[in-house]
């Protein structure tokens, strides 16, 4: 589970938020659908910038101060200003924005659970309850 996990989470969240848009718009209210979409896009952009900042900062070989400053400037003032304006203008219901923002965490949880249950990676450490060969769960 490397950084591609976060890329997949970002892609999946964006796709899920796009899929829900017509259904929520038709069966409930288009403003709720758009609010969920915008909340999810905000969360996706937030996670993307967070990953970029961490990778740029911990990349010791090619650390660029200018790139790091640009990322920090984009993430902290601009992204939070957009979130503030989304809440302040009240074009979309606050609940829909919160649901959209939470969607990305639901995707992270479900993806991690899926990997855990399908035994896809290193969640099984030796001696843990998920380790069938070890002594952890079989005693």
Partner 1 sequence: MHYTTALSFALPLSLGIAAFGSAFGLGRAVSAAMDSMGRQPEAAAKIQVGMIIGCALIEALTIYALVTVFVLQGKIG
Residue numbers at the binding site for partner 1 (CB under 8 A): 1-3, 5-6, 43, 46-47, 50-51, 54-55, 58, 83, 87-88, 94, 97-98, 101-102, 104-105, 108, 122
Tokens 């591609």 locate to 4
For the record, the structure tokens of 92 come out as 């979309």
Of 18 and 54, the one with the shorter C-beta distance to partner 1 is 54
Of 34 and 97, the one with the shorter C-beta distance to partner 1 is 97
Q: How far is CA 94 from CA 3, 46, 62, 125, in A?
A: 31, 18, 41, 42
Of 2 and 62, the one with the shorter C-beta distance to partner 1 is 2
Do residues 47 and 104 touch, judged by C-beta distance below 8 A? yes
For the bound state, the minimum distance from the C-beta of residue 105 to partner 1, rounded and expressed in Å, comes to 7
For the bound state, the minimum distance from the C-beta of residue 3 to partner 1, rounded and expressed in Å, comes to 6
């Amino acid at each position: 589970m490397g950084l591609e996990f976060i890329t997949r989470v970002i892609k999946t969240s964006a796709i899920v938020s796009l899929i829900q848009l017509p259904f929520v718009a038709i069966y409930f209210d288009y403003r709720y659908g758009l609010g969920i979409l915008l909340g999810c896009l905000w969360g996706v952009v937030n996670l993307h910038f967070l990953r970029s900042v961490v990778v740029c900062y911990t990349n010791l070989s090619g650390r660029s101060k200018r790139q790091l400053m640009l990322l920090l400037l984009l993430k902290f003032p601009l992204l939070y200003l957009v979130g503030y304006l989304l809440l302040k203008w009240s074009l979309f219901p606050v609940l829909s924005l919160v649901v959209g923002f939470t969607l990305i965490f639901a995707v992270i949880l479900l993806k991690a659970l899926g990997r855990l249950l399908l035994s896809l990676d290193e969640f099984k450490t030796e001696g843990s309850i998920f380790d069938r060969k070890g002594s952890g769960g079989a005693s």
